[in-house]
Amino acid sequence: MILNEQAIAETLSRGAARSEAEILSILEQARRLQGLEADDVAALAAISDPDLLGELFRCAREVKEEIYGKRLVLFTPLYVSNLCGNDCAYCAFRSSNRAVARKALSQEEIAAETAALVDEGHKRVLLVAGEAYPREGFEYILRSIDTVYSVKRPGGEIRRVNVNVAPLEEADFRRLREHNIGTYQIFQETYHRETYAQVHLRGRKKNFQWRLEAMDRAFNAGIDDVGIGVLFGLADWRFEILAMRQHIRHLEERHGVGPHTISVPRLEPATGADLASQPPHPVSDLAFRKIVAILRLMVPYTGIIMSTRETAAIRRETFALGVSQISAGSRTNPGGYSSEIEKKQSTEQFSLGDHRSLDEVVADVSALGYTPSFCTGCYRLGRTGADFMDLAKPGDIKTHCDPNGLSSFLEYLLDHATPTTRENGLAAIDQALERMHAEPRRRAAIMLEKVRNGRRDVFC
């Protein structure tokens, strides 16, 4: 059994009774980068004392710095279709919603979207589709991936396509793997079975277990880089993170490795979906910061993704607490990047909180002392799944990721950045080099010189 709701309820009950000394002991243990037990998660979730909250956030910052340093990986979603056969009460793409214009991009339109993203400076995208496909079925997704990879522009190309599509049969997961994807991502939305049944009204998505076991089928098919998440606001967030922990432990025990990433979306208003504007279990900004911090301590080597659902201010606050990947310059409607007509239509899946361009986000991230990274090296060198974790846990992954991050950042600055962003970014690279240890600094210096001399896609 993957989930045990009774065990979660009992754990939450015990967690509320922990003393200050016990909380501090849990945080000290978390600093050893060994993760958290279920009782520890519940205890941290129950913290309300301002001083203890400060200690929680301080601990999360230390763990984030130890594992990920100052890197923040950037990507953007590429919505190819909003056709959907499910009726999810929180989503604008729900099948019963007549207020949304339906669109499945042609391969020519996907190529135009990709070209627009490459011209902005993007190197990795998350291909997203509603859970129904045009006439050719799943073949549409496979063709779309190939189209994205096929687009070459003077400013580069998309080097890694991650995918968020409906749960698949194992045979189709094998086909997906053959098309050179990076991460396969799917959200359970909520791990609370009763809530799940209440908000998923029609369609194949009503099947809780089918969705829950999707990652097992992906692993069985040879996809070892997967991303999970829940939609915070549907059920009690404390329940969700404990259920997520159970799911992660199941994957680790059965497949030897857990998810590569966890996404933390909150419910945001969506056209034709009143529930999204009135979350059953609203998550305050303070609770949201706690979620990010606790997840960072619970699974220290797992990436945490923050989308543009959140405002720029909230995104900034969570960088230090555990977030390691962010979307930038996002559109959540098919055709949103290249078609002015589509941009004006009310077809977005949900409301965005951060409407800034990629260049504005890069400038902001850099000014905060982080290195915007467009690196895709690990995917292409096979450092995924257990191989990635074998490097991450002893801290060796930094010797690759820090130089790769700077190399890809410099490439963006030289090829795509506005003059002000370029000037400030170059200074930030110099500062980042000063912070690095000798060996990664040596690697970075060699790679940066290659980029300055006209080489592109330099990674180690």
Instruction: Quote the number of domains for the chain.
Output: 3
pLDDT of residue 317: 94
Regarding whether 206 and 97 lie in a shared domain, the answer is yes
Considering 313, 344, 373, which residue would you say is the last residue of a domain?
373
pLDDT band at 254 (very low <50, low <70, confident <90, very high): very high
H or E element in which residue 175 lies: helix 170-178
Regarding whether 420 and 299 lie in a shared domain, the answer is no
pLDDT of residue 253: 97
Of all residues in the chain, what percent are helix, strand and coil, respectively (each to 5)?
A: 50, 10, 40
Distance CA 3, CA 298 (A): 17
Beta bridge partners of 371: 71
pLDDT at 397 over 90: no
The mean pLDDT value of the chain amounts to 92
Stretch among 164-178, 215-229, 260-274, 396-410 having the lowest mean pLDDT: 396-410
pLDDT at 400 over 50: yes
Domain assignment present for residue 378? The answer is no
Regarding whether 183 and 47 lie in a shared domain, the answer is no
- What percent of the chain clears pLDDT 90, i.e. is strictly above it? 79
Distance CA 381, CA 367 (A): 31
Domain assignment present for residue 387? The answer is no
pLDDT tens string 38-91? 999 999 999 999 999 999 999 999 999 998 889 999 999 999 999 999 999 999
- Render 193-239 in DSSP notation, one character per residue: HHHHHHHEEESGGG-HHHHHTHHHHHHHTT---EEEEB-BTSS-HHH
Beta strands 325-327 and 71-81 are parallel
pLDDT at 460 over 90: no
pLDDT of residue 347: 62
Regarding whether 262 and 155 lie in a shared domain, the answer is yes
Domain assignment present for residue 389? The answer is no
For residue 40, the enclosing domain spans 5-66
pLDDT at 309 over 80: yes
Domain assignment present for residue 206? The answer is yes
Domain assignment present for residue 459? The answer is no
Regarding whether 22 and 92 lie in a shared domain, the answer is no
Kindly provide the residue ranges of all beta strands, DSSP E only, lying in 204-279, ordered along the sequence. Answer: 226-229, 261-263
Neighbouring C-beta atoms of residue 403, cutoff 10 Å: 27
pLDDT at 3 over 90: yes
pLDDT of residue 7: 97
CATH number at residue 194: 3.20.20.70
In angstroms, how far is the first alpha carbon of the chain from the final one?
40
pLDDT of residue 144: 98
pLDDT of residue 341: 46
Regarding whether 157 and 292 lie in a shared domain, the answer is yes
Length of the chain equals 460
Regarding whether 132 and 30 lie in a shared domain, the answer is no
Domain assignment present for residue 460? The answer is no
Helical H segments across 354-437, by residue range: 358-367, 377-380, 385-392, 398-415, 419-435
Domain assignment present for residue 458? The answer is no
Domain assignment present for residue 457? The answer is no
Considering 15, 45, 66, which residue would you say is the last residue of a domain?
66
pLDDT of residue 353: 80
Backbone angles phi, psi at 267, to 5 degrees: -55, 130
pLDDT band at 390 (very low <50, low <70, confident <90, very high): low
Regarding whether 259 and 347 lie in a shared domain, the answer is yes
pLDDT at 9 over 70: yes
pLDDT of residue 391: 63
Regarding whether 102 and 56 lie in a shared domain, the answer is no
- What percent of the chain clears pLDDT 70, i.e. is strictly above it? 94
Regarding whether 92 and 32 lie in a shared domain, the answer is no
Regarding whether 268 and 174 lie in a shared domain, the answer is yes
* 188 closest CA partner among 208, 204, 170, 163: 208
pLDDT of residue 349: 62
Neighbouring C-beta atoms of residue 75, cutoff 10 Å: 26
pLDDT tens string 330-374? 998 999 998 654 554 546 665 678 889 999 999 999 999 999 999
Considering 39, 66, 93, which residue would you say is the last residue of a domain?
66
Regarding whether 127 and 79 lie in a shared domain, the answer is yes
Q: Which DSSP category does 267 fall into?
A: P
Q: Which two tokens stand for residue 424?
A: 């400030």
